[in-house]
Each structure stands twice: as structure tokens, then as C-alpha cells.
Amino acid sequence: MKLTILGSSSALPTSERYPSAHVLNAHERFYLIDCGEGTQMQLRKNHIRFSRINHIFISHLHGDHIFGLYGLLSTFSLMGRKSPLSLYAPSNYDLMLISHLSDFDIHLSYEINFVPLAGKDPVEILNDKYLTVTSFPLKHRVPSFGFLFREKNHDRNIIKEAITTYNIPGVRLPAIKKGEDFITASGTVIKNEEITIPPPVPLSYAYCSDTKYFKRLASFVKDVSLLYHEATFDQSKQDLAAVTGHSTTLDAARTAVEAGAGKLIIGHFSARYKDVGILLKEARSVFPNTLPAEDGMTYNIADISNG
């Protein structure tokens, strides 16, 4: 699992930071999370092929998270896309999207599979070969949702020498990888632990942007390998955060602690911060394993969650 930050700014883009957008690469499948203004330019700069994106997740319907989507959808069509695109967004977005496409005379060359987000509890919205994706409610001024990407459990790894030693036929390997013992031709039972080694621990990534702190959030992302959490303001702006429905650095760090996260990335920074050092320092005072989101950076989740 690798995460690329395309945009780390809140409402206003700056000369160094674009509005919110992330790309998660899980087993060479690419998932776009939010699509602020300039996302397709950032995709090009970071050499991410448009055709690799088949799933787009929109957390909520504020411009800094969605203004880049219309141009990207149009570009997909102009590039001759034929494969369907799955779009996950708040339930009231479907009609808005249809209206926009009609208003601007856009006729897409591909089908959009719209998956509405709603409710007050976590919901599994995607289940594929390698991972599951769960949406969960956040607390913002408009309906807002976070996303949890979890790898499925891996099969055990067979020790190559054991295949020769016990003359294990190829047809038996899939079952052994699933944990079964092996019985030799003479009836001897070879325990699975003797011929396999445990698989890597499944990785996970959670995206929490545009939300107030609330206790239940940590339970939605329990034990996540990497937590991205907005930290729009420093702690001195906690009253402003409450009014606007955002989090401070300490809110983000507190959620990371309560969730037992492996690592925290803070982002969605207010444009008032030319240097996010103060934000990072505050977050690390509560949760030391904190990194700042930086546009154009790619984080290997296996490496940073174990670092």
C-alpha cells in the first residue's frame, strides 16, 4: 500500500499546496480520494495514469474536495475512456452531477456507477480481491464521510525447501497456504507451521477529512496502520474549529491515540499557515508518530507504520 498526497490545503489553494486529494495504490489498484481543484494536474505531475483510476471517493460536497472532479470526468471522456467508473459520494450528489453534465453539454464515453453514502454507522461499500473499503460518518457542517481501506488477510507463505523435502504436489499448495496440514503418502501428518511462515500483517489506511472531534470516530478506525486526519487549525483556534466544523492538531492527535493508530498524517491545513511546523509540533506533543501531509509525497504504508 502506497499513499500519494496530491493536495493538502483546506478551502484556499496556495502556491505550494493544492486542495484535498489523495491517491492510494493498493496492489497496483489506484483509488482516488477527494478531488479538489487541480487534481488532474497533480496526477500528471506525479505520473499517475488516469486509466488506472476506477474508483473515486468523495468525502463531502464542499468545493475544496470536489471542484476538480468535473474536469477530471470530462478528461476521462476526451481520452476515450470506455471502462466504467465507480463514484462514491453523499447520496444527494447524484442529481447534482447529472445536472452539471447536462448544463455543460458533457456526454461521457463511459458509465458511472454511483454509490450513495448515507447513514450514521460504518458501511462496507467495496469488497474486491485485495481489500475492503468502509465508509463512516464524520461530523461537519454538511454530511461528510471518512473511508477505511483494509487489506484482506494474506495466505501463509510456503517454505520452498519443504516442497522438495516432503514431495508436496502442486495441487496441495493452495490448501496449505490457507493453513491446512499436509499428509504424506505414508500417512505422516506434517503440521502447517513446519512448512509455512506467517504472512505479513494486513495494512490499512483511514481518511478522515472535515470533521469535528467526536469520541466514536476512533472506534471506526481502530488499529489502523496509517491515519490521515485533518488538522485545519492550531489549538489556539479551537473556537474557530468548532464553528466551522473542523479539527485542531490536538483533536487529530487525540483520535490517533484513541484509535491505536500506527502513524498519523495531518493535513487540510488552513492557508493562514505558511509554515506548518507549529501544527506538527502540537500534534507530536500528543502523538509523536505524526507526519505532515506534503503535496507530491508518496508514503509506503508498510514502512512508515513500522517505523
The reply to whether 64 belongs to the active site is yes
Q: How far apart are CA 174 and CA 196, in angstroms?
A: 12
Return the residue matching grid coordinates 464542499.
62
Angle of the 277-286 helix axis to the 249-259 helix axis, nearest 10: 30
Q: Which of 64, 210, 234, 251 is catalytic?
A: 64
Q: Are 256 and 287 in contact (CB under 8 A)?
A: yes
Specify whether the CB–CB gap between 9 and 35 falls below 8 A.
Answer: no
Residue the block writes with cell 489506511: 205
| E strand spans, the chain | 2-7, 21-26, 29-33, 53-57, 85-90, 112-117, 123-127, 131-137, 145-151, 157-158, 182-183, 189-190, 196-197, 204-208, 226-230, 263-267, 290-292, 298-300
Name the residues annotated as catalytic: 64
